[in-house]
Amino acid sequence: MEVVEESPYRFRIERHDPMRVPGVVFASRSLLPDPAADRSLEQVADVATLPGIVDASYAMPDLHWGYGFPIGGVAATDVDAGGVVSPGGVGFDISCGVRLLVADLGRDELRPRLDAVLDGLSAATPRGMGSGAVWQLTSREELDAVLRGGSRYAVQRGFGVQRDLDRCEDHGAVDEADPTQVSDRAIERGARQVGSLGSGNHFLEVQAVEQVYDESVAEAFGLRTGQVCVMIHCGSRGLGHQICTDHVRVMERVMDRHRIRVPDRQLACAPVASAEGRDYLGAMAAAANYARANRQLLAHAAGQVFQRQTGRRLDLVYDVSHNLAKLEEHVVAGVARRLCVHRKGATRALPPGHPELPDELRAAGQPVLIPGSMGTGSYVLTGVSGSPAWASTCHGAGRVRSRKQAVTAGQGTDPRAQLAARDIAVRGASRRGLAEEMPSAYKDIAAVVEAAEGAGLCRKVARLVPLGVVKG
C-alpha cells in the first residue's frame, strides 16, 4: 500500500482496484498507525470499495482498527447512485457520544464538596455490564416511546428542560426511527438499561476548564476558565449492540442479490434505497434515540446531585454522537447530492451559520466534544467552514493498545494511585477497568487535536482537565 504525504496532516492512499476512490488520512506522521500492529490503513482502503462512495474514504487522526470500518472512519455514499449503508460504518455502540454540562461554579468553590459530589454521582449513576438504570420502564409501549422520541420523550416525562433539546444534535431525536425493525432480543437487552453508563471506556467525569483558546466562541458556548463541567460518555448499551448484530446478518445474506462484493464480510451492506437499507436506518435511528435518552437521564440525575450538594444547577452545552450514519445534503462537484454519511468514531462538526444549529450557537459553530483518555485533558472544539470531510472530525484520543495489552503493560502498578497522584479522584472502577483505560493505552489527545485542527477539520475552543471520574 502506497501512502503519500500530500501536505502536513494529510496523507493519501492511492486508488487501486477494487478501490473506487482514494483513501485520505488526516494525521501527523507520528499518529499514523503501525501497519505491523494495526491494520486500520488497510480498512481505509477496503471502505473505498463500497458502492456509491463519493470523494474519498476518510480517516481521522485518532484512527485505529475496528469492525469493518476503522474507528475514526468517515465515508459518504450517494443515495441516488446506488450508494450503500453499512452497519460496520456505524459500529456496535450506535450513537455512542458525549454530553457536556456546565455549572455556575468555580473549581476552587467545588473543592471542599468534591468528595461529596463524587459520592453522590457514584450512587446516582447505574453502571457496569448488567442491568440497572435511572428509569425503570413499565411496558414495551414505554420503551417504544423512548425509541421514537429519544431525549424529547425523556424531557416530556420530566427528565430535563427545553434547553436540553435545543442543545442536542437532531434536537434530541432522529425522526426516522422505526422500532418495528428492532428485534425482541434487542428490546430485551435494552429494557432495563435506560439511564445507565455501561462499562469499558464510558465514564461520567467532573472537570474544570483549564484553558480557553477562543474567548468569543467559549463565551457563546457558556465556558470560562476555572469553571466546573460534567462530561458524560456513553451510548445505546446492549440494545444498540444487538441491532448492529442483527442487521449485519441480514445484509450478509442479501449482498449477492444486490450484486455487491466487498473485500471483508464485516463491510456487509445494502443500498440505502433497498428494503434492507431502510430497515437498518430505521433501527439505527431507534438506537440513536435510546442513546440520547440514556445521556439525558444520566445528566438529569447528575444535575440533581449538583443541586443537592452545591446548590447550583447543570446546564447543557451540547450533546453529539460519534457513531452514526446520517442522510445529509452536500455539494459534490458543484451539485447538491443526497449522501449517507457514515461516521464511526468520528464527530459531526457543523460550521458557523449552519441552519441546524440553534440561534445562540449559529455564529460560533457547533460545539465538538473530544474526550481524552482517563487522566488526561478533554477538548471542546468548534466546526469550521470548508471542512474537507463532510463536516466531520475526530472523536477522542484513539487506542494504541487493546484492553488486554493495556492490562498486561500495567501489571505491578496501581492505576488508582497513579490517578490520585494527579489529583484525580475515582469512584466505582475495578483495578482492571482502570488499567484498560489509562493514558498509556491511548494516543496523545493533544497531538490528535493538533492534527485535526491543522487539517482544517475544526478549531480549538477550550481544554478541560479531570477532577474526578465515575466508571463502571
395 is catalytic: yes
β 203-212/425-427 pair status: unpaired
The label of the residue with cell 422505526 reads 178
Catalytic residue (one of 202, 300, 322, 395):
395
Which are the catalytic amino acids?
Answer: 395
